[in-house]
Structures are given as C-alpha cells and as structure tokens.
Amino acid sequence: MASQWNQKDVPDQKGRVVVVTGGNSGIGYEAALALAGRNARVILAARSLDKGEQAAQTIRQRYPAAEVKVMALNLADLKSVNSFADAFLASHDRLDVLINNAGVMALPELRTTDGFEMQFGTNHLGHFALTGLLLPALKATPNARVVTVSSALHASGDIHFDDLQWKKRARFRNEKKHLYNLIADR
C-alpha cells in the first residue's frame, strides 16, 4: 500500500513567504495551515477580511509562533488585484510560493467589476493578472513556485474562443442555472 503524504512530510519552510488566495477556507485554508505549521510566513489573500482574520486566528491558535497575515484581494475586481500586488511588493522583496486557489463555480449569470463573466474573470483572469503583477518578487526568489489549483471539472469543459464571455451560448446559461440550483438545494 502506498504511504499517505501529510503535513509531517513538508520540509521546514522557515524564511519562505507564501501567498494563498482563498486561504480562509477549504483547500486554501488547509494549505495555509500546513505551511504555517512548518514555519512559512503565510499571507492569506481573502475577499472577506473578517473571514480571513478568523482563519488566521485559528491558525495562530494551533501554531502560536505562526506568521500569518491577511490581505484584501477580490479576484473579480482588477483594481483590487492591482492594489493587493502593490501592497505586497511594497512590503516584500521575495515570494517563494504563490498558490492560486480561490475560485467560484456554478453561479447565476454574473459579471466581474470589469465586465467579465464571473467564473472566467475570477478563476482565470484574476489569477493571471495577480501572477503577472507578482512576477518581480517571484523572479527575485530562487526556486519560486506558482501553484494553480483546479477541480476535475476542467476535463469536461471546452473553450469557445469566439465566446469567452458566454453571451452566445444559451444552452450553457441554462446548464449553469441548473447547476446553481442543484448546489443551492444542498
């Protein structure tokens, strides 16, 4: 039987800086918790500062010596992405790991602040812009890494380059509404 990899297998992260988008819940929170527990300086990039601070407090309760900071980031608003990157770069000269984890799915038809379809704008364009803006710190850090989290749903999709905003595909809109209703009923 294969061994189960766990937090104990993570090497010491002392001196390393890690940004986790959506680090206040789910996979992002678990990654932040594990890395903080192995001595990384963790920045929780969260849309809700209250939820981010709650997550940071929980991490600090578990690991009292943990260096955890919360910074505002709304990936559905490119002005917020720019503000986050500016604030990060003003206070950090290195970035060892960027974990692009935050995401939304199965939403009703919504648009980002900049007019993009919400799921595409948040999950892809927001992270793309963030990664590009943080490149100076990533490039200045030896062996820096960018980790982009996805779900298995990527395998069932296809890209319609002539309709990235999903304005022409009524069938997709109906399927999306159906998916949203299924999730909302849980």
Answer for the pair 111, 117: CB distance below 8 angstroms, yes or no: yes
What is the total count of domains within the chain? 1
Nearest to 126 by CA among 110, 106, 104: 104
pLDDT (0 to 100) of residue 129: 96
The pLDDT tens digits for 76-122 are 999 999 999 999 999 999 999 999 999 887 777 789 999 988 888 88
pLDDT in tens, 22-51: 999 999 999 999 999 999 999 999 999 999
Please report whether residue 5 resides in a domain: no
Q: Domain containing 111: what range?
A: 10-149+164-184
175 within a domain of the structure (yes/no): yes
Strands 97-100, 17-21: pairing is parallel
Q: Is residue 154 part of a domain?
A: no
Q: Per the structure block, which two tokens stand in for 158?
A: 């296809």
DSSP category for residue 68: E
Judge whether 159 lies within some domain. Answer: no
Whether 24 is in a domain gets the answer yes
Rounded distance, CA 125 to CA 123, Å? 6
154-174: per-residue pLDDT in tens? 666 666 777 776 677 654 555
